[in-house]
A and B are shown apart, each in its own frame.
Chain A
C-alpha cells in the first residue's frame, strides 16, 4: 500500500515525468500497450473515452456478454486521463433523485466488490468512511431531512442519521460546529481513487472474456452515419466499422464537440468549467487512524473535504465559476490548466475551509488541482441513445457528480443494459439525453446556464421546491408573453419554454413574492394568489397560455387500412373513431409502460388525420419513439406542429367558458352541442379570427376548451383580447400552471414525466379505460401482451391518491414529491406529485403503493383491497402525517362534473365492479 501511495504522490507532483511513471502504470493494464497494435477493422461497439465512464460501460457490456468491444482513449499517456484522473472520489448516496440514489448505491457496492469479483488486486483505495453533510441553515437541514427520510426507508434501506452539531464534533473533531444547525451522517458512503477505479474496471473488462480491446492515443474524429444509423467511426488511425458507438468522450467538452462533428449532429448539452481542489501534506497529528475520517460536504460553505493520504483533499463550487472551452478548443490538454490560487481564494473556498476546520491553518499545501468538469443545463447527467442517430449512445456530463459523489459506475450499468436489452432497467427519464431539445445546445446558452448550475451546484442540492433557473431564459415565448408579463405573470421554464406560474394581482407589488420568498419548504407566499385563480377556474372562467405543449400531426397519405393499422399498433387506445373525437391514449413500450401519454383528435373527414397533444418535454422523446417504431414503408406522415400552434394554445377553463366562447363564435357551445372530449371538425372563428381549432378538453378535468391558434395567422393577440373583453362579465382572469397543477392533482390526473414513466402501465394507474385490449380489427399494439399478462396476474404497484389528514397548511412542511408512503407503519412507496387542493382544503399527494413481502422484500400484487385496508402515513422530512388513500377521484365534491368525463367514470366503475 505504501508503494501505491508513493506512486500516487508522483502522479500528482511530478507532471513532466508522467511518461516514466506511465510505463509503470501500463504494466498493470494488460492491453494498454496496444497503442502500437493496429486498429481492428470492425467491432460491435466502439466506446470513445477511457475515463471512468467508458471503462465502466466496457466492463458492464462485457459482463452482459458482449464480446466485440473497442475502447478508444485519445489521451497521450494512459486511460483515465480526463477529469476522471482528477476526481475527488467521494461516493455518496446523498442524492435527491431516486435514480441517482440507486446508481450511487450500486457504484458503492460495485467498488466494494470489485476486488473480489475480478480477482485482481485493484487497490482502488476504497474506504468506507461515511459522509457528513452539514447544514448551516434550517432550510438546509430540512433538505437533508428529506433526503434522510428517503434514504433510510427506501427499498434499499441505506442507513443514515440526522445529527445534532455536538454529535458532529464527536464524529469529526476538527469540524467547527458553531455555525451548524445540524448534519446528516451516512455511514455507508465511501471514498475511492477514481482513476484507479477506472483502471481496475478496464482491467476487469479486458479479462471478462477478453472481449474488450483498449487502444490509447487514438482519437475519434467523427462518427459515420447511414440512414440514421451508426455505421462506424473515423479515427486518426483509421476507420472502424461498428454497430454501436458510445460517446463517453468526456465529462469535459469533448463529448459536446464530438457530438457536433457528426454529419447528423448529436446535440449533447454540456459545458465544461474549471474545478479546483486542494491537496495538503499529511497532518502532523494524524486523526485517529482506526476510523478514517468521514467525507464532509458543507453545501452552505460550498465545499467538500475528505481525507487524502493523511492530509486532506478539499474542493468546492465557486460563486463565479470559470467556464472552459466555450470556443471549442477541444484538444487543449487538461494538464495545461493552471492552479489559480486567487480564484480559489476569492471565491470563498479557502476561507470556507478554514472556517469549517480552523485547525488546518498550519497544514502545509501540496497542490491546488485544476480539473475541468462538465455540467449540464439542469444539473443531471446525460445518458441514452441519440434521438437522431440509432446506435449512438451518450454518457457524459456528470456535473461533478463523477467527482464529488462517486465514480458512479452504476450509471453505466443502465447504459449497458439499455444497449443490450434495448431499454434500461430503471426509469432513467430524468437523465435521458432526449429531455433536451436542440435549443439547449447553443454555446452561449450552455455557458451561461452552466455557470449558474455550478454557482448553485451545492446550493441546488437544497432542492427548494419549485426551483427555476435564472439564466438561459426566454428562449421560447408565446406571442402573449409581453402581454401576460405586464399583467403580473411570474414565469417558469419547461423545455426552454416560458410558462406562467401565476399572476400577481396588481397592487400586490414586488415586496411580496420576492424571488427568495417563494423558495420555502413551508407554505409559499403565492398560496392565496393561486387559490383565487383556482377558485375562478371552478366558479367562473380562466385563461391559461399552454403554447408549450408538444403538438404533432399524423396524417395518412393515401386512404388505406394499413396506415390505421400502424397507428393502432403504436397507440394503446382505439383510434378508429369518428372524426371530431378526442382519444386519451398512451404510447406503450413492450412492457406496457408509458412512453408517452397523449390526447389524439381525429381531425379530418376524408382521410385519417390526427392531431396529437403531448406534454412539453415529450417533444424529442416522442418524436424519436414514433420514428423508431413506424415502419419505414408506411405512408404515414409525421409532422411536428408545435411551432405552428405556438401561435398560442389557450386553455379556457371553468363553467363559464361555454358562455364566453359561444358569445365570441356565435355557435352553441353547450355540452349538448359540443360535448367534452370533442374537437370541432370545422376550424372555428373566434371574434374576427377564423381557422382556430377548438377542443373541449382542459387537461384538468374541469369543463372548458382548448383553443389552438395557428401561428401563420397572427390572431393570437386578437383572440386573447377578445376573450378577455367578452369574458369580463363572466369574471375571466389569467391563471398559471400552479393553478392547473392544483386542479389536476385534486382530480387525480396523472402527468407523464411526473407521475407516469416508462415503467408504469395503464393498469397500474387506473387507466384501463384508456386501453383497448381488443381493438376492432383484432390488431395487436405494442405492450398488449404485457398488459394482458398483468391483467391476469394483477398489478404490483398502484397509483393512489392521498389526502393528508392532520397536516397544518400554515405551519407544517409542505409535501412536494418523493416523500415515503407508509402503510401500517411499513414503507410501501413514494409520492410522485402533490399539491394543495383548494376545494378539499387539504393537501393531496399522488403516489404509487407497492406491497413488499415482509421477509423477502419481494414485490407482491397490490389489490384495491390492499389499498383500502391500510392506515397510511406520508413522511415529510422525517415527520409523518396521516393520510387517507383513495383509488378514484372525489366525484361528489365536484358538482360540475358532467358530460363525457362521467361516461368515462362509469366505465371505470363498471370495470371495477
Chain B
C-alpha cells in the first residue's frame, strides 16, 4: 500500500516529513487517476468493512477532511465552522486540484435537492426515544425519559451511544462515545463501560451473589436494562472475552471489600480506568481466536472519548473523558434558558489539561508535548480510551505489532510511533467527574459529541431544546397590548415564529430537532431547508469535510420529582 498523506481530524499519524512531501503526494495521483483498479478495490473496503478500515488507514481520504477542505470551501457557500486547530495542517491548495478532479470520478456532482420527507427520513433514521414508565406514583424517577439520535458523517459512523437503567442499584446511565481511527474502540466502550460502572456501584453482597451464581452456573441477576436503538449493536463474538474481563474485575472488587458504601464518583473513575486497562491488557495478551485477536488489537489501537451521565434521584454525576460535553438546560424564573456545563473538554483549549500533561512529563518534553493544539502534534483529545500508541512503551508496541496478525503489521498507522515519544503513557482514560444536585429549574441534560458543539454554541443548544421541550408551538399568542409595534416589525416577528413552528412540528424527538438545527441553521438561527438538504445530500466521501458525526442524548428531568426530593431532604 502506498503511503499517502493521512490527517485524521483527531489524529495525524503521518510522519512529519511525509505530510508535506510533494513526491509522496504525486505518487498518489496515479493511484486515483491512472490505476483505476486500485480505488475500486479500496473503496468498498473502506465503506463496508471494519477490517478494510484499519488495513487502509493510510489512504483514508475521507478521514482527512481538513487537508482537502479548503479548496472546496472556496467553491462552496456551505457553512463550515472554521477549525483553527487544524488550519496549520492544511496543505497548499495547488496540490489539490488533481485531487478534486479525481473526486468527481468517485461521485458525480450532486445537483439535486432532497425533499423535506427525504430529509426527514435521513434525520430520523437513528432516532430513539425512551420514556421512563410510571408506577402508580411509586418509585417515580427523576428522569422523565430521553431522546437520542445520531447523524453519521463518517462511513461507517464512529460515534456510539448507550443508555441503560441500573437494575441492582438505582440510577440511569447515559453516554456518548466519539471514536477515532476507526470505531472499534468506541464500540467496545459503548458495550462494556456501563457494566464496569454498574459493577463498581454494586454493594459487596450483590457482587458475591453474582459471583456465586456464575460459579454454580445459575442464572445471573440482570445488571443493566439497555435502551437501544435497533442500529445499536453488540458484538456477540467478543462477549465471552468481555465477560471474563468483567468477572475478573468484580472478583477483585470482592477481594478488596472495603466495606464502605460505594461513592459514585469513585466508582465512575475506577470503572473508566479499569476498562481502559482491560482493553490494553487484552491487546497485550492476545487471543487464540484470530478474529478476536485482531478485534482486541483494533480496539486498543483505535480510540474513543466518553461522556457518561449517571442520574440517581437528584444526584447527577457526569464522567467525562475527552471532548464530548454534558450541558444542563436551566430555565430561569423569567422563562429564559441558560446552559450550565457539567464537563470540561480535555483538549488543547483547556489550560488545566495542558498543565496536567506537562506535570506528568519531564520538563525537557514541554515543547513537544502539545503541538498544533494536539497531543504530541497528533491527537486532539487529551484523554481517551484505547489509543495504546500513546500509552504503551515503544518496545511493547513493536512487540505486539510484530507478533500480531499480518493486517496489523501492514498497517502504516499502527506501526508508526508518535514523534518525541519518550515517557509514555501520554494518554489516560481517567475521567473528570462532576457532581450536580438537580434542582427543579434544571429541565434537561444534553450529552453530545463534539460534532454538535463545534457547530452550535451551547447557549443556542439549550435554548432550542428548551423551547422544543416546553413546546414552542404552544407559544404565547402575540398581543399588541399597549406596545408600539409597527406593521413591519410584526411581519418580521411572525415570519420568525412561523419558521420556528414549522421546524418544531416536524420532530417528535428533541435530539432530531437539535440535529436539524445543527445541520440546517442559517445565519439567522432558523432552519433553512435548502441548506439542510444540501448538507444531507453530500456523498459519503464529502460529508466528513463539512461536519463530524453528531450524537446527541437529551435527558428530560421530572421537575416535580426533583422538587419533591429536594423538599424531603431539607
A interface list, Cβ under 8 A from B: 278, 280, 338-342, 344-346, 350-351, 353-354, 360-368
Interface locus among B411-419, B478-486, B524-532, B555-563: B478-486
Most buried by B among A361, A362, A366: A361
> With A339-B477, A339-B479, A341-B478 in contact, is A350–B498 under 8 Å at CB?
no
When A and B form their complex, which 5 residue pairs have the shortest distance between CB atoms, in order from nearest?
Answer: A345-B494, A361-B488, A341-B478, A365-B485, A363-B487
What residues of B have a CB within 8 angstroms of the CB of A278 in the complex?
Answer: 487
Determine the distance from Cα of A280 to Cα of B487 in the docked complex, in whole angstroms. Answer: 9
How close is B493's CB to chain A, nearest CB, in angstroms?
A: 8
Q: Is the CB of B485 within 8 A of A342?
A: no
Determine the distance from Cα of A674 to Cα of B480 in the docked complex, in whole angstroms. Answer: 77
Partner of A350, one of B477, B479, B484, B487: B487
Determine the distance from Cα of A364 to Cα of B486 in the docked complex, in whole angstroms. Answer: 4
Q: Is the CB of B494 within 8 A of A350?
A: yes
What residues of A have a CB within 8 angstroms of the CB of B480 in the complex?
Answer: 339, 341, 365-368
Within 8 A of A (CB), among B487-546: 487-488, 490-491, 494-495, 497-498, 501
How close is B107's CB to chain A, nearest CB, in angstroms?
A: 36
Partner of A353, one of B486, B487, B495, B498: B487
Q: What are 23 inter-chain pairs, A to B, with CB distance below 8 A?
A: A280-B487, A339-B477, A339-B479, A340-B477, A341-B478, A342-B494, A345-B490, A345-B494, A345-B497, A346-B494, A350-B487, A354-B487, A360-B487, A361-B486, A362-B486, A362-B488, A364-B485, A364-B486, A364-B487, A365-B485, A365-B487, A365-B490, A366-B480
In chain B, what residue has the closest Cβ to A314? Answer: B487
Extra pairs beyond A354-B491, A365-B486 (11, CB < 8 Å) = A339-B477, A341-B477, A341-B494, A345-B495, A351-B491, A354-B487, A362-B487, A364-B484, A365-B480, A365-B485, A365-B490
Q: Is the CB of B487 within 8 A of A346?
A: no
In chain A, what residue has the closest Cβ to B496? Answer: A345
Q: Is the CB of A354 within 8 A of B497?
A: no
How close is B504's CB to chain A, nearest CB, in angstroms?
A: 13
Determine the distance from Cα of A341 to Cα of B501 in the docked complex, in whole angstroms. Answer: 14
Q: Is the CB of A361 within 8 A of B487?
A: yes
What residues of B have a CB within 8 angstroms of the CB of A346 in the complex?
Answer: 494, 498
Determine the distance from Cα of A340 to Cα of B475 in the docked complex, in whole angstroms. Answer: 12
What residues of A have a CB within 8 angstroms of the CB of B498 in the complex?
Answer: 342, 345-346
In chain B, what residue has the closest Cβ to A366? Answer: B480
What residues of B have a CB within 8 angstroms of the CB of A365 in the complex?
Answer: 480, 485-487, 490
Determine the distance from Cα of A366 to Cα of B479 in the docked complex, in whole angstroms. Answer: 11
Determine the distance from Cα of A280 to Cα of B479 in the docked complex, in whole angstroms. Answer: 14
What residues of B have a CB within 8 angstroms of the CB of A351 in the complex?
Answer: 491
Partner of A354, one of B485, B488, B501: B488
How close is A282's CB to chain B, nearest CB, in angstroms?
A: 13
B interface list, Cβ under 8 A from A: 477-480, 484-488, 490-491, 494-495, 497-498, 501
Determine the distance from Cα of A338 to Cα of B480 in the docked complex, in whole angstroms. Answer: 12
Determine the distance from Cα of A737 to Cα of B498 in the docked complex, in whole angstroms. Answer: 46
Q: Is the CB of A342 within 8 A of B491?
A: no
How close is B500's CB to chain A, nearest CB, in angstroms?
A: 11
How close is B86's CB to chain A, nearest CB, in angstroms?
A: 44
How close is B85's CB to chain A, nearest CB, in angstroms?
A: 43
In chain B, what residue has the closest Cβ to A357? Answer: B487
How close is B554's CB to chain A, nearest CB, in angstroms?
A: 26
In chain B, what residue has the closest Cβ to A338? Answer: B477
Most buried by B among A354, A362, A365: A365
What residues of B have a CB within 8 angstroms of the CB of A339 in the complex?
Answer: 477, 479-480
What residues of B have a CB within 8 angstroms of the CB of A344 in the complex?
Answer: 494
> With A364-B484, A364-B485, A365-B485 in contact, is A342–B477 under 8 Å at CB?
yes
What residues of A have a CB within 8 angstroms of the CB of B485 in the complex?
Answer: 364-365
How close is B24's CB to chain A, nearest CB, in angstroms?
A: 58
What residues of A have a CB within 8 angstroms of the CB of B487 in the complex?
Answer: 278, 280, 350, 353-354, 360-365
In chain A, what residue has the closest Cβ to B479? Answer: A339
Determine the distance from Cα of A368 to Cα of B501 in the docked complex, in whole angstroms. Answer: 21
What residues of B have a CB within 8 angstroms of the CB of A367 in the complex?
Answer: 480
How close is B210's CB to chain A, nearest CB, in angstroms?
A: 58
Determine the distance from Cα of A339 to Cα of B480 in the docked complex, in whole angstroms. Answer: 9
How close is A156's CB to chain B, nearest CB, in angstroms?
A: 38
Q: Is the CB of A342 within 8 A of B497?
A: yes
In chain A, what residue has the closest Cβ to B501? Answer: A342
How close is B484's CB to chain A, nearest CB, in angstroms?
A: 5
Partner of B491, one of A280, A345, A364, A366: A345
Most buried by A among B477, B487, B495, B501: B487
How close is A262's CB to chain B, nearest CB, in angstroms?
A: 38
How close is B263's CB to chain A, nearest CB, in angstroms?
A: 52
What residues of A have a CB within 8 angstroms of the CB of B478 in the complex?
Answer: 341-342
What residues of B have a CB within 8 angstroms of the CB of A354 in the complex?
Answer: 487-488, 491
Most buried by A among B479, B494, B495, B498: B494
Determine the distance from Cα of A29 to Cα of B100 in the docked complex, in whole angstroms. Answer: 85
How close is B494's CB to chain A, nearest CB, in angstroms?
A: 3
Most buried by B among A345, A353, A363, A368: A345
What residues of A have a CB within 8 angstroms of the CB of B490 in the complex?
Answer: 341, 345, 350, 365
Determine the distance from Cα of A338 to Cα of B481 in the docked complex, in whole angstroms. Answer: 12
How close is B238's CB to chain A, nearest CB, in angstroms?
A: 55
In chain A, what residue has the closest Cβ to B494? Answer: A345
How close is B541's CB to chain A, nearest CB, in angstroms?
A: 41
How close is B461's CB to chain A, nearest CB, in angstroms?
A: 26
What residues of A have a CB within 8 angstroms of the CB of B497 in the complex?
Answer: 342, 345
Determine the distance from Cα of A418 to Cα of B6 in the docked complex, in whole angstroms. Answer: 94
Determine the distance from Cα of A364 to Cα of B485 in the docked complex, in whole angstroms. Answer: 5
Determine the distance from Cα of A362 to Cα of B491 in the docked complex, in whole angstroms. Answer: 11
How close is A306's CB to chain B, nearest CB, in angstroms?
A: 16
Determine the distance from Cα of A339 to Cα of B498 in the docked complex, in whole angstroms. Answer: 16
How close is A34's CB to chain B, nearest CB, in angstroms?
A: 37
How close is B485's CB to chain A, nearest CB, in angstroms?
A: 5
In chain A, what residue has the closest Cβ to B495? Answer: A345
Determine the distance from Cα of A365 to Cα of B478 in the docked complex, in whole angstroms. Answer: 12
Determine the distance from Cα of A648 to Cα of B543 in the docked complex, in whole angstroms. Answer: 65
Determine the distance from Cα of A360 to Cα of B488 in the docked complex, in whole angstroms. Answer: 8
In chain B, what residue has the closest Cβ to A367? Answer: B480
Determine the distance from Cα of A5 to Cα of B480 in the docked complex, in whole angstroms. Answer: 21
What residues of B have a CB within 8 angstroms of the CB of A341 in the complex?
Answer: 477-480, 490, 494
How close is A284's CB to chain B, nearest CB, in angstroms?
A: 11
How close is A318's CB to chain B, nearest CB, in angstroms?
A: 13
What residues of B have a CB within 8 angstroms of the CB of A350 in the complex?
Answer: 487, 490-491, 494
How close is B415's CB to chain A, nearest CB, in angstroms?
A: 62
Determine the distance from Cα of A579 to Cα of B480 in the docked complex, in whole angstroms. Answer: 76
Determine the distance from Cα of A364 to Cα of B487 in the docked complex, in whole angstroms. Answer: 6
How close is A639's CB to chain B, nearest CB, in angstroms?
A: 55
Partner of B486, one of A342, A345, A363, A368: A363
Determine the distance from Cα of A366 to Cα of B501 in the docked complex, in whole angstroms. Answer: 25
Determine the distance from Cα of A368 to Cα of B485 in the docked complex, in whole angstroms. Answer: 12
How close is B496's CB to chain A, nearest CB, in angstroms?
A: 10
Determine the distance from Cα of A367 to Cα of B497 in the docked complex, in whole angstroms. Answer: 19
In chain B, what residue has the closest Cβ to A280? Answer: B487
Determine the distance from Cα of A341 to Cα of B479 in the docked complex, in whole angstroms. Answer: 8
Determine the distance from Cα of A846 to Cα of B236 in the docked complex, in whole angstroms. Answer: 87
In chain A, what residue has the closest Cβ to B483? Answer: A365
What residues of B have a CB within 8 angstroms of the CB of A340 in the complex?
Answer: 477
In chain B, what residue has the closest Cβ to A363? Answer: B487
Determine the distance from Cα of A360 to Cα of B486 in the docked complex, in whole angstroms. Answer: 8
Determine the distance from Cα of A367 to Cα of B498 in the docked complex, in whole angstroms. Answer: 20
How close is A447's CB to chain B, nearest CB, in angstroms?
A: 23
How close is A894's CB to chain B, nearest CB, in angstroms?
A: 57
Determine the distance from Cα of A147 to Cα of B487 in the docked complex, in whole angstroms. Answer: 33
What residues of A have a CB within 8 angstroms of the CB of B479 in the complex?
Answer: 339, 341
What residues of B have a CB within 8 angstroms of the CB of A361 in the complex?
Answer: 486-488, 491
In chain B, what residue has the closest Cβ to A354? Answer: B491
How close is A794's CB to chain B, nearest CB, in angstroms?
A: 61
What residues of B have a CB within 8 angstroms of the CB of A363 in the complex?
Answer: 486-487
Determine the distance from Cα of A338 to Cα of B491 in the docked complex, in whole angstroms. Answer: 18
Determine the distance from Cα of A480 to Cα of B486 in the docked complex, in whole angstroms. Answer: 59
